[in-house]
Structure 1
Amino acid sequence: MLIGDVARRSGVSTRMLRHYDALGLVRPTGRTVGGYREYSAEDVRRIFHVESLRSLGLSLKQIGRALEDPAFTPLDLVSDLIRQTEDRLAREQELLERLRAIDASAPTDWQEVLRIVELVRELNSTSAARRQQVLLARPEDVPVPAELLAGAVLNESDPHVAGALRWALARSGSDGVATLHAGMRSEDAGIRRRAVLAIAEMPEAPGATTVLADALGDPDTTVRRHAALALGRRGVAAAVPTLVSMVVEGSNDVDAAEVLGMLSLDPGCTDRIMTALVDELAVPTADSATRIRLTQALVELAGTSAQEVLRQLAHDDDAAVALVASALVGVLEERSREDEADEPS
């Protein structure tokens, strides 16, 4: 079969067939009397093999190796293709995110486009100090797309840069909440932790409280604790069980106790918090350190009920608990005397 016939039947141009011949990929078996290339049925099958491998994304060099090297197994070939495809998709995803960031900022001229591209490049720097500097040194009149900041927050592992990103995001408005909310659905607990911290610093963002409330059911303990602290500061009583657990477990227990004190200013929450703390104090397996933390938490609560419980604990069988409770009763009594002295006569 002459080269023209092969080209028509295979769909491969005569130019490409000559290129295959030059590379040694598909050499025609014979030549006519006139010197024209003449392809056998086996040659045509090899052409289709080459085209099939090209459709998978292989280079001609890789195809030559796959067809000639007996040690080059299909499994190796497929594994290489998977890695190459994943790398390409990652690059394309990065490009897509850059384009979306530019689109979200609604630039009016090329200068703004270039400024955003530069910001994206700096945020992708391998230097944490450089990533932080680009955020802190940003002029006040240069807006940064919230979606861009939110995406950077979810991927930032350095705590200092993450803090700067959350600060910048909180100042940029509430447009990044949707991206952070998507981050809360990630299978990666680290991403969910970064998302909940960022949302916690955006108190005015619409829907933020709902997202935080959902996070109270997160399988990750750290996510639940961050959500509880943020919700408690917003006066959401649903955070009480997690906050009490934080006191019991000794994890950010001082912060948790302070937030419980804030919540106790609401008469509807006071009894709930008091009951939860007293119940934990009565747990037979609670050790001395745990009961001391619970005792210290009581001093943060509003109202007289906490004082009464502390007076009872001043006679506790555990000497360490009794000592702490006695000291705290003294602090509360001194505080009451000062408040009375400040009242106008």
Structure 2
Amino acid sequence: MPQNYTFSPVTATDRAGVVWVAAILSLLFSVLTLITRFHIKSRTLGLDDWLLAASNTVAVGQYIAIYTGLSNGLGVSSTLLQEQHARTLGTTVLTSEVLLIVSLGLCKMSVVCYTKRLFTREYRRAWRACNAALALSLAWTIGSALAVSVGCGPAHVLWGAERCPGNLMRWMIVNIFDGLLEIAFIALAIVLVWPLQMTTYIKVTVVSAFAFRICCAVVAVLHGVWFGTYVHSSDPGLAIADVLVWQQVELGYALISATIPILKGFVRGYNSAMGFDLSYEAKKKLGGGYNLESYGEQSRNRSAAGSRGRSKLGGSRLRHEGGDRMNLRPNDGDYQAGAYHEPNRGGKGRPTSTGSGNSEDPIIRRDISVTVEHSQARTVA
């Protein structure tokens, strides 16, 4: 008879297969998301991207620890393990927990740094708030890593009725502050973006990109709930499997959601490749403003045709020597209006406070908006 082989069977005394699936999917999705992010921002990589890369690197260490443990009996009932072997697997579990916290902390700092990149240095309040958020993230990372490891050896992780003293309380505090920080980062995005002179649609879009992080707080709570079940379980070797599953879900989603705010660049690149031009609609949603610099080429191309139309009209003419001209006059009547833009002399690009030049960084700047209105006068017979 043919015999079927199973990579990791899921039975009443072995739940390692569930952890295998969660860990493999978490690794694949997080790595693919990081590759996508670096492809999108290949020309504008910043500190936030390198912090997320470091977070993924630490996460790979966490996945390796989990895979090593699963290959040696992690997720199997404690009744099937010897005490010395259970102690060895306990070391693997503690290592994965510390690496989990370090990776989550680096991920949080990456999100804050990306928020900081949205603003130039002239937004001092935004920079100070982001620096404070970075300090809190660093403090949470160091404090949490010490909280789950100091005084908690691997002896009782998978063996015996007693877990680490105060282990449940430690993880409750870690998960609570984890969720509070994620909520605080979303509130920070709202506070910084909402006062800006943009349409409500754009503000909601920006905030919604960061709002995906709220699920990190939800998953942290679920991780804490299952950790409580593990602490009070009489079979810790089997109960730890559910904790490790939620650990992989928490880490994977945190790494993926950190890239969601920049996906607009990917969509914009896709639209350009497909021949779609959404620049007009985007400017329209931003309040109907237009950069006069973009009219330089058009005004030069239409100068010959415009000169014939201007020669037929009377009234005053607006002139600006050495500048580009965009004619906004009506087709008939005795009123004429014009908008002008002074080109940069010497061939230099427009200066910015951050020195980004012509980069594609999504930086929010303080620009001057000019509105030109005209009214057509009646022709007196």
TM-score (norm 2): 0.23
Q: TM-score, normalised by structure 1?
A: 0.25
Name whichever structure is richer in helix by fraction.
1
Which of 1 and 2 has higher RCO (CA within 8 Å, sep 6+)?
2
